[in-house]
Structure 1
Amino acid sequence: MPADPFRSALRTSGLLAVLTAAVLALTGAAAPAPPAPSADTTGDPVLAARLRAATADLAGQGFAVAAGDATGGTSAAIGTAAPGRALTAATPQEIGSVTKGLTGLLLADAVERGEVAPTTTLGDVHPWLSGPLASTTLEELATHTSGLPRLSTRAALAAPITALTYGNPYRWDTPENLLRDAAWTPLRGPRGEFAYSNLGYALLGNALAQRLGQPYPQLLRERVLDPLGTTATEAAPDPLPAGRARELGPDGRPSTPWRSSGSTPAGTGVYSTAEDLGELAAAVARGDVPGARALDAVVQTPGAGVGWGWLSAELAGRTVVGVNGATTGVRTSVWAVPATGRWVAVTSPSGGTGEADTQTVAFRLLGLA
C-alpha cells in the first residue's frame, strides 16, 4: 500500500533508535522501554479479549477500538491513557493523517455543491501565485500527485531534531508561510505520479477555507463532523480536550502533540476518539458518508487505489476502504468493507516502530490477512 499518514516519519525509527542510543550512551542514561498495555480493560469484554489477542505482538501503552457491521457496533479498550488512568474508547487523542480523509470528504462536498471543481487550481484561489504551483489542481493535491515534497522547508529543517526529541516539526506552519514556501520549493517528483505530501494536503485544506470563506475547523465541523454526529472530534481545539491520552513515542518517552494553524488539514492538532471514528467507519461502510466521492480511487499504485485522502485495496476477495494516521505519539486507523457492512476504528496513544500497527489490528479484527 502507498505511504500513509506520516508513515515516512516512522520509517526513520531505526535511525532514531541508533541516535537515541548514542545520546543515552554519552549521557549515561538508561534507554526507556517500549510501552506495553497494562491489564486494564474497559468496554465490551468480548471485543476487549479479541483486541488483546490482536495486539499481543505489538507495542503500545494501550489500544482502543470501535467495531461493528450493518446491525450495530460496540467498543472496548485495553491498557492505559496515562498513569493510573485506564484507556477507553471515549479517550481523546490526536488522529494524525486520518484528518486527510476528512479533508478529502470536505473537498468532495464542495465539489458536489458546485463551489469548486477537481480542476480548480491554486492560482484560481490565490490569483497572485505564478509558476507551476499556480496550475496545481485541487485533485492533484488530494491524490498526492502534485509533485510537492512531503514537508514544508521549515518542517523539513526541523524534522531531524524534532524526530529525535519527539517534538513538533509543524509549529511554524501558517497558511500564509506554507503557501509562500511552496511557491519556491522544488518539486519532489513529476506531476501526475504518486508522492505522499503533507504539504500538499495542508495547501488543499487551506485553499478550501480561502475559497469558501470560513476557517478550516469551522468548515469541517459544519460539513463533515456534524452530519456524521461525531461530536468528540475537533480540529485545532483550544484548549486541548479534557481527559486526552498522554502520548508516548516508540520507546516510551513523552511525545509533544503536533499543532499548527497551517498544517491542520494535513493532520496536526486534530483530536478524536475510537467511538467517534467508529461513526466515520460505519458511514464509510454504508456509503452515506458526506462527500462519499472522496472514497473512489482516482490514482492506482502497485499496492492500492488512492482517492481523495482514502485508500482502497483488494484483500481476501473483498474491497477494503480506509485511512491511517500516525505522529510520533499516536497511531490511528479507520477501515471498512462496504460489501459486508463491516467496519472498525482503532486508536493507540503511542507511536510505533511499525509503519501502521493500528492498520494491522484493524485488519485482524476484520478477519483479513
Structure 2
Amino acid sequence: MITLSRTPSTALPARSRPPLLVALAAALVLSLGAFAPAAPPTPSADSTGDPALAQRLRAAVGDLAGQGFAVAAGDASTSARAAIGTAAPGRPLTAATPQEIGSVTKAMTGLLLADAVERGEVSPGTTLAEVHPDRDLPPELAATTLAELATHTSGLPRLSTRAQLRNLVTASTYGNPYAWDTPDSLLTDAAWTPLRTPRGEYAYSNLGFALLGQALAVRAGVPYPQLLAERVLVPLGMTRTAAVPGELPADRAVELGPDGRPTTPWLSAGSAPAGTGVYSTAGDLGRLAAAAASGRLPGARALEPVVDADGARAGWGWLVADLDGRTVLGYNGATYGVQSSVWAEPATGRWVAVTSPSGSAAPDTQAVALRLLGFAL
C-alpha cells in the first residue's frame, strides 16, 4: 500500500497523549465494554449504474470490507457512474447517494485559499493575527501563516486539547469528537493547545485546516459553507454537495463503523473546513476529480506541491505522488463511518472518485480508486 493514506481524522499519535489521558482512555474503554461489536460489513450482490463499471468496481474492491462502494470515473471524453452494495438495509447504494466525505473537504479548502490569493483577499504569508486583529493570541499562533495551515506545517496537533478529551469517549462510541467546535471557539481552543512539532515540519492537523477555512471566511465576509458553495461547488456544478446543511439529506447512507455499528455524523460548523459535516456523492466528487484532471479547478494553484508529506508531496490540501512512473494527485477522507477518495492523472486526463459509507482502519477507497486507474496494489 502506498503511503498516501489519511487515517480517520481523530486518530491520535501515541506521543501526543499525556499519561493522564492514556489512563482515562483505558478506563473509558473498560467501562464501555457493553458495546459489543457487530460483524464487519461486506458488499451485497446489489449493483447500480453502468454495468461494466460496476463489474470493474467489484473487482477493484475484492475482499475489502464495507457495506458498499460507489464510483464516478472517466477521462477527457467519457464518464460513468456505478455502485455495489447497500446504502442502508434494503436500499442499494448509488453514485448519487449522499454521505459525509471527511478530509476530501481539505482539498476544496485549499482551492479556496488559492482563489482568495488570486482575488487579493489574502496572501500565503497572511498571519492569523492579521485576520483576527481583535483577538489576543499567543505569539506563535498569532504568527502562524495561512500557507503553514494549508500545508500542515504550523506545528499544531491533529486536534485541539479539548477535542482530544472528547475523542477519548467518541473513539469507543463512534460519536462526534468535533461537536464543541464553532467558528468562534477554534481560536480559543487553539490558544490553549501546545504545538506538537516545530513550525515548518509536516504534521497532519485538522485543527490547522479548520482555522484556515474560517480565516478565509472572515476575509471574504461570509460563513464558510457559503464561501465553499459560491467559489467551488457552484462553479464545478457540484449540486449535491453542502457543508453543514440545515437538514441532512433524506436519502443519505446509513454510515457504519469497521465493526458494523452505526456511527454518529461529525456535524460541526467550526471544523467544517477540515471535513466535518460536509456531505457529497461519488458523482459530485467525480466533478471535482474531472476538473483536477483537466486543469479546470478554481484556485488550481493549490495543486502545486510545496512540502514533503508521507511519501508524497503536499500542496494546499492536495497530495501529488509519482507511482510507477506516473504522476497522480488527489486526496482521501475518512470519519468513523465513511471513506472517500478523489484522484486524477492530468497527463492522461483520467480521474476517479470513490465513496463508501463504511469506516475502515485502512485507506480502502484509495486502494480502489488507484486500482481503477490501473495501478497494481
TM range (shorter): over 0.9
In structure 2, relative to structure 1, the CA distance for the partners of 1:32 and 1:22 (3 Å cut) is farther
Match of 1:80 among 68, 79, 86: 86
Deviation at 1:286, TM superposition (A): 0.2
Q: Distance in 1 between matches of 2:188 and 2:28?
A: 34
Residues 169-226 of structure 1: per-residue CA shift (max 9 Å, x gap): 0000011111011123211000000000000000000001111100001111010110
Unaligned 5+ segments in structure 2 are: 15-21
In structure 2, relative to structure 1, the CA distance for the partners of 1:57 and 1:205 (3 Å cut) is same
Alignment coverage as a number of residue pairs: 362
Structure 2 counterpart of 1:341: 349
Structure 2 counterpart of 1:9: 11
Unaligned 5+ segments in structure 1 are: none
CA contact (8 A) 2:5 2:366 kept: no
Structure 1 counterpart of 2:364: 357
CA contact (8 A) 1:129 1:183 kept: no
Q: Distance in 2 between matches of 1:156 and 1:309?
A: 23
Residues 91-146 of structure 1: per-residue CA shift (max 9 Å, x gap): 00000000000100011001011111000000000113331111100000000000
SS in 2 for 1:154: helix
Q: Distance in 1 between matches of 2:269 and 2:297?
A: 26
Q: Distance in 2 between matches of 1:53 and 1:150?
A: 35
2:48 maps to a residue whose letter is T
Match of 2:302 among 294, 299, 313: 294
1:183 maps to a residue whose letter is A
Structure 1 counterpart of 2:67: 61
In structure 2, relative to structure 1, the CA distance for the partners of 1:48 and 1:208 (3 Å cut) is same
Structure 2 counterpart of 1:129: 136
In structure 2, relative to structure 1, the CA distance for the partners of 1:178 and 1:8 (3 Å cut) is closer
Listed as ranges, the matches of 1:137-216 within 5 Å are 137-216=145-224
Structure 2 counterpart of 1:70: 76
| TM-score, scaled to structure 1 | 0.94
| TM-score, scaled to structure 2 | 0.92
SS in 2 for 1:175: coil
Q: Distance in 2 between matches of 1:280 and 1:224?
A: 9
Q: Percent identity?
A: 70
Match of 1:229 among 231, 237, 242: 237
RMSD of the TM alignment (CA)?
Answer: 2.0
Structure 2 counterpart of 1:332: 340
Q: Distance in 1 between matches of 2:36 and 2:208?
A: 39
Q: Distance in 1 between matches of 2:269 and 2:347?
A: 38
Q: Distance in 2 between matches of 1:23 and 1:78?
A: 37
Q: Distance in 2 between matches of 1:344 and 1:19?
A: 43
Q: Distance in 2 between matches of 1:11 and 1:137?
A: 24
Structure 2 counterpart of 1:39: 45
2:345 maps to a residue whose letter is V
- Whether 2:258 is the aligned partner of 1:244: answer no
